[in-house]
Amino acid sequence: MELLAFARGQALTFSVAVFVLGVLWRLVGVLALPAWRDFSPPREGSAPNWLSAIRAIFRKMIPHRTFLKEGMFTTVNGYVFHFGLGVVVFLFVPHILFLRSLFGVSWPGLPNGVITGVGALTAGSLLVALAYRLTSPVLKLISRPNDYLSWLLTFLPVATGLAATAHVGPRYETMLALHILSVCAFLIWFPFGKLMHAFLFVLSRGATGIRFGHRGAQL
């Protein structure tokens, strides 16, 4: 109970505070940058900037047809663990209660059996993603400690959550504390590593879309 009290108390408060601080630091830092100077007029008939940005954000969610076949596996697997994480984080009732305690709003959750199934699928998908990263020569070459740490800190909360639910390993309260502490580690790393793509992908894709649109590229 002491470990659980520490996890639910100081550890959680500290990690959520670091998360908020880091995310705002990076987002405000990017959004408050000066607008890119436009040294050339936009190509005739090009879409307005906002439309180019939105088009890029959504169209890049599916690989271009040229690469669709080659990238099918990584695309599908990526969607599996991203949706899985979304379901587990936002539709498991104890998680909803945690979010309600922060934001004051709640929504209906899913039965535990569904969450456990999705959680297991997510964990499997993450393991497959790691295996692919380790076996693909190109991906292995461009992978850095940042990538592996981001993977580990995403996988640990899923694994410890499943273990707590299934009563595998230490006593439940210890496993629950480890689960919360793994989430704390995730939150602390989030703003400073590649996990920040959860926010930055919108800005980077939008900026790319605007530049391409400006030059008249079809997005």
Partner 1 sequence: MKHDDNLAGEMQRRGVSRRAFLKFGSYVASLMALPPSAAEALAEGLAAARRQSVIWLSFQECTGCTESLTRSYAPTLENLIFDFISLDYHETLMAVSGEAAEKAREAAMAANRGKYIVVVDGSVPMKDGGVYATIGGRTNHQILEDTVKDAFAVVAVGTCAAFGGLPRANPNPTGAVPISTLVGGKPLINISGCPPIPEAMTGALAYVLSFGKLPELDHLGRPKAFFGETIHDRCYRRPFYERGEFADGFDDAGARQGFCLYKVGCKGPVTYNSCATMKWNGGVSFPIQSGHGCLGCSEPDFWDQGGFYRPLSTPLGAMGPALAGAALAGAALGVGAALSARSHQKSYLASAEKEKE
**Residues in contact with partner 1 by the rule CB under 8 A:** 1-2, 4-5, 8-9, 12-14, 16-18, 20-34, 37, 93-95, 97-98, 100-102, 109-113, 172-173, 176
Q: Between 37 and 64, whose beta carbon lies closer to partner 1?
A: 37
Least distance between partner 1 and beta carbon 210 (Å): 18
Q: Between 1 and 138, whose beta carbon lies closer to partner 1?
A: 1
Q: Between 89 and 152, whose beta carbon lies closer to partner 1?
A: 89
3-state secondary structure the chain: CHHHHHHHHHHHHHHHHHHHHHHHHHHHHHHCCCCCCCCCCCCCCCCCHHHHHHHHHHHCCCCCHHHHCCCHHHHHHHHHHHHHHHHHHHHCHHHHHHHHHHHCCCCCCCCHHHHHHHHHHHHHHHHHHHHHHHHCHHHHHHCCHHHHHHHHHHHHHHHHHHHHHHCCCCCHHHHHHHHHHHHHHHHHHHHHCHHHHHHHHHHHHHHHHHHHHHCCCCC
Q: Between 71 and 117, whose beta carbon lies closer to partner 1?
A: 117
